[in-house]
Amino acid sequence: MRSKKVSYPTYLFIIAFALFGHQISFGQSVLDKYIEEGIKSNQRFLQAQMESNISVQENKIAKGQLYPDIFLSADYSISNGGRSIAIPLGDLLNPIHSSLNDINGNNQFPTDLENVDEQFLPNDFHDTKVRIVQPLLNTDIYYQYKASQANISATKAREESYKAQLKFEITRAYYDYLKNLEQKKILDSTQILLKELARVNLKFVKYHIATRDIIYNSESQIFDVDAQIATAEREVSTSKMYFNTLLNRNLNDSILVDSEMTTNFTLTGDLEQQALDNRSEIKAVQSSIDSLQYHLKKDKSYLIPNINVIGDFGYQGYGYHFDGEQEYYMVNLRLTWPLFKGNRNRAEIKKTQFYRNQVELQLQDLKNSIKLQVNSALLQFAESQKVFDAQLAGLKSAEENFKIVQSRYRENLVPLVEFNEARINYTNTQLKVSIAKYNIKIAEANLKRTLQL
């Protein structure tokens, strides 16, 4: 029977599962509360949320164009002068009326009518109406609405992507702070040890067991550690301020230290596919492609005419009256059909197609990048555990060696240089273990971010 070939990501997962079955990490803790606080207060994340809110309102605006526009219009005109037309009513009608009166034998018809000059500008004239404009067929409005819906999905996905990145940044900043704090504590304990060494060296000199050079050497060691402590204090303060900045708090606010170090973080399934399914960046790019597809449909529908119905209902006439004589309505059906626009429509179609093709290439490049991130994060996670185990084993050896050398030095059986070498090795190993311990947590957080868990 032919064996099934194991893929490279699956092979990495098998290694990681074998290595990290006993892995420790922080569970529901102070850190989780800080992450929740950061999501609520981080200024950049709030800006990303505002972008999502704006896209929702833009969609409502686009949807509103599908409904009728209803508005009230009222015009009232008072005028005098300007162009006029002469109407010779008297010259035309007076002779006729005179003849009719002679025939009838009475003065029934007036014969003193005057000629009239009627100005073109209406005087004491009003037009008060309600106008309703309803689009019946408008592809621009429809596809713009559909594109704005896709844009909502894109902005929401970008918001989720920033949220995942923010969670990682807060996690990394928190562990950096704990790491710097622990390293300072290690250096503080080393300083106490060196001061005890200086006291022992003073006794050696007092009783002429050693020369005064050992006092100067121990003082030099203390000054060297003092400098390291000063650097550690700066790094503690800097990491604290950066962490508080992420949470939009005062820079010097205190940070609670979580002493719990347990978790049930496990890795299962095809990690690459999980990342491709979960990552918001892919969803954002895909939504952008959908939006461009609707824009392309809009561009291609230029041969479809736009049809609107316009209805006016109101009152019109001389004198500001609202009665049956001035009441009117008028309904228009308006068709707009662009027949030729200098080939601009075809150019718009080509441009949108190029945009869509460009974003599709970005999507494929993003997928390849995410696959690389997953494998790199998994290897980094595995490496951090191996480094921690090695440093932890080295710490045990360095500690035992230092205890032996320290005991023998107190009995004046080994030279100071050997004591200094053992002490420096022990201190450096402690610092390396501290770094390796928190690097595991940072690597774990990075892997979670890559998988967007």
- Residue pLDDT tens, the chain, 453 long: 333 333 333 333 333 333 343 333 434 579 999 999 999 999 889 988 898 999 999 999 999 999 999 999 999 898 887 787 888 887 788 888 888 888 888 888 888 888 877 777 888 899 999 999 999 999 989 999 999 999 999 999 999 999 999 999 999 999 999 999 999 999 999 999 999 999 998 988 888 888 888 889 989 999 999 999 999 999 999 999 999 999 999 999 999 988 665 555 677 778 899 999 999 999 999 999 999 999 999 888 888 899 999 999 999 988 888 888 899 999 999 998 888 777 888 898 999 999 999 999 999 999 999 999 999 999 999 999 999 999 999 999 999 999 999 999 888 888 999 999 999 999 999 999 999 999 999 999 999 999 988
Report pLDDT for 24: 36
Domain at 8-74+137-307+340-451, CATH class:
mainly alpha
Q: Tell me, what DSSP letter sits at residue 123?
A: S
- Tell me the residue type at 369: S
Cβ neighbours for 102, distance < 8 A, ≥ 6 positions apart: none
Report pLDDT for 207: 82
Paired sense of beta strands 306-318 and 69-77, if any: unpaired
d(C-alpha 318, C-alpha 282), whole Å: 66
Q: Which residues of 207-226 are buried (b: 16+ CB within 10 A; e: fewer)?
A: eeebeeebeebbeebbeebe
For the chain, how far is it from start to end, CA to CA, in angstroms?
37
Cβ neighbours for 355, distance < 8 A, ≥ 6 positions apart: 292
Element at 356 (helix H, strand E): helix 344-410
d(C-alpha 444, C-alpha 250), whole Å: 28
Provide the β-strand partners of residue 311.
132, 331
Report pLDDT for 14: 35
Report pLDDT for 15: 35
Is the pTM higher than 0.75? yes
Domain segments of the chain: what residues? Answer: 8-74+137-307+340-451, 83-121
Report pLDDT for 265: 65
Report pLDDT for 309: 95
